[in-house]
Structure 1
Amino acid sequence: MTRSKVTRFMTEMDKAAAGLLYDANYDPHILEQRRAAKRLLHELNGLHPDDEARRDDLLKRLLGKTGERLVVEWGFYCDYGFNIEVGENFYANVNLVILDGAKVVIGSNCFIAPNVGIYTAGHPLDSERRNMGLEYAHPITIGDDVWIGAGVSILPGARIGSGTVVAAGSVVRGEIPDGVICGGNPTRVIRAILPEDGLRYR
């Protein structure tokens, strides 16, 4: 069976999961999945700050997987929610945006500063396909014990290793190793995080 015949039997979300171009703007099933997420996000972002139990419940309904302890501050936006998995002790500051056409897997003990964007989605370079509403999505993985600074953009297919710190304003693409400080556009490794880095706080 040819590839074109195979793709005819795939749903649009199957295509997205496979990294193929998929109809993100006109497919009825895709649109309803996004509307379902928007309903939960509308309630979540409008909650009173004291209503922590309801906030936890909505987050756990929205996201594909969570730990017991997670804090996501006001102003959280995503496409679907079910493609997002976070580990234990997850903290995200205000205005986190996750475009989760593909899986976004974030480990335990991760801290995300304000105004961070995590984007699995991309668009064709040629305007003909782009104007047809087609896009692609590549998964993003963030390891354990990662700190992502303010205003960071994480691009489709990025992988950030455990124990790494991403400096504010960085644009992350490709693979970042474990245990380093990285920054810039595009992000590059600045140096390893050393045992003596912990001494300054003692």
Structure 2
Amino acid sequence: MKKIKFKFKNIEFRKVSIDELDDRMLLINLYLTQALTLIIGLIWVFFQQQNLTSLLSISVSWVDVLLWGSGLALLAVAADLILSRFVPDELADDGGINEKIFANRPIWHIAVICLIVGFCEELLFRGAIQHAFGPYWTSIIFAVIHVRYLKHWIPTGLVFCISYALGWIYIKTGTIWASIFAHFLFDFIMGLMIKYRRES
């Protein structure tokens, strides 16, 4: 029986531009990243000895969750629209990744992506990291994680502010679901805007 030798030195890492990714690879990368985010969040919550059931419970009414979440999401969308009106495109460029993710996607798939991203990222950032470091440092980490914006300080600043607001409504309402809903709704509205702007 012939032995197969695996050599680590043969592995090559290189930066891949967004144009080199086809739609299938982009989706695989997106879903794997979110799965990893969820796993890290669950492990971190476990090691903090938080009760996951308590973390995911709703201590306020669903109406409050929807009001706080939609209020923040609409404010964030308004801020983004104002910035896009007055800031040149080259200062707010994300490298085209949002366009590639949302432009040709059916509405139901945009909703699924936004729901998964909202839940996984909020569990990690608000549920675990904010519990350890507070909303300010969590928002710095959140902005750094969104590496595609780091070339430009304006979108980086907006991401930081939105993250801080997500942390604030989590504290204010006492439920992570307000942050999850706000995150979902903001991404969903922005995804629809990208889709219909492209179609028109």
Bin for the TM-score computed over the shorter chain? under 0.3
Highest RCO, 1 vs 2 (Cα 8 Å, sep ≥ 6)? 2
User: Normalized per residue, which structure has more strand?
Assistant: 1
TM-score for the superposition, normalised by structure 2: 0.26
TM-score for the superposition, normalised by structure 1: 0.26
User: Normalized per residue, which structure has more helix?
Assistant: 2
